Amino acid sequence: MALTTAEKSDFVRHGLVIRRGAVASGLVARARALVDDWCRKSMDPSLINSYTQRSFAPELGSHPDLLGLFAHSGAATLASELVGEFEPVSTIQIQIRIPESQLPNAQPEKAMHVDGVACPHLDPDELRTFSLLVGVVLSDITDPDGGALRYQPGGHLTMSEWFRDQWFLGITDQVPPEVDGRTGTPFLGAPGDVLLMHHLVPHAVGRNRTQEPRVMAYFRVSNVSHADRRLQALQDPWLDYPGLADLYPAKAPL
């Protein structure tokens, strides 16, 4: 389950690693059953915008069968190989892109952004950053028009330069114009696939024009020192990655 040297180099260059089939089918099945049950019995259609900005199934945020997708799948070990010692992961974010045909009003899209920085639902002076985003696929995602996450490979390096040279706390721009204008690469996969993505990789989420919901589970992983140096971590992409700094930049050109 350990990351290979090639995977670490890819992470340095592109800002992400994808592990196919990394989470056992039993863990995925239990988690998906919980989410589906919540959708049938508890989802309030009037709160779709709130769920989209924060999390679907918020009542299940600390359910052990959902946290097990990270803690009991090997994903936690992979995360530790990247960020070293990290703070306990005690909550999960569920993100569902609902087919447009099933909603009376369109689910809001998410423009290119970096999580926790100038988000529409946060105060511009507030940072809720972390080190590494770990995503676990809970539904088949085979169509880019199915609400797939769209990421920009290598964008973590562009963003760190922007945060270092142009950005300041309190501005409402989430990314620079040249990043905002890019479509991004759709993340496609099958249940059990795992995405490990640098916090600084800009990403967006669009509309679901298919007939099936797109369901993802996300975990936010923070190096144990991150909370004391959030601004510095925005400017130095390897501050929270003690084992990777030596691979960048000379050995991993874009």
Domain of 162: which CATH number?
2.60.120.620
Residue 193 to residue 175: CA distance in whole angstroms: 28
Structural domain contains residue 252: no
pTM for the whole structure? 0.94
What domain count does the chain have? Answer: 1
Q: Tally Cβ neighbours within 10 Å of residue 134.
A: 23
Structural domain contains residue 49: yes
Structural domain contains residue 189: yes
Quick one: pLDDT at residue 171? 79
Residue 234 to residue 167: CA distance in whole angstroms: 10
Structural domain contains residue 254: no
Mean pLDDT by 10 residues, the chain (254 residues): 90 96 97 98 95 96 98 96 97 97 90 84 72 98 96 96 88 89 96 98 96 97 96 95 74 40
- Contact between 198 and 15 (Cβ < 8 Å): yes
Residue numbers of the domain that contains 123: 5-244
**128 exposure class (CB count in 10 Å sphere: 0-12, 13-18, 19+):** exposed
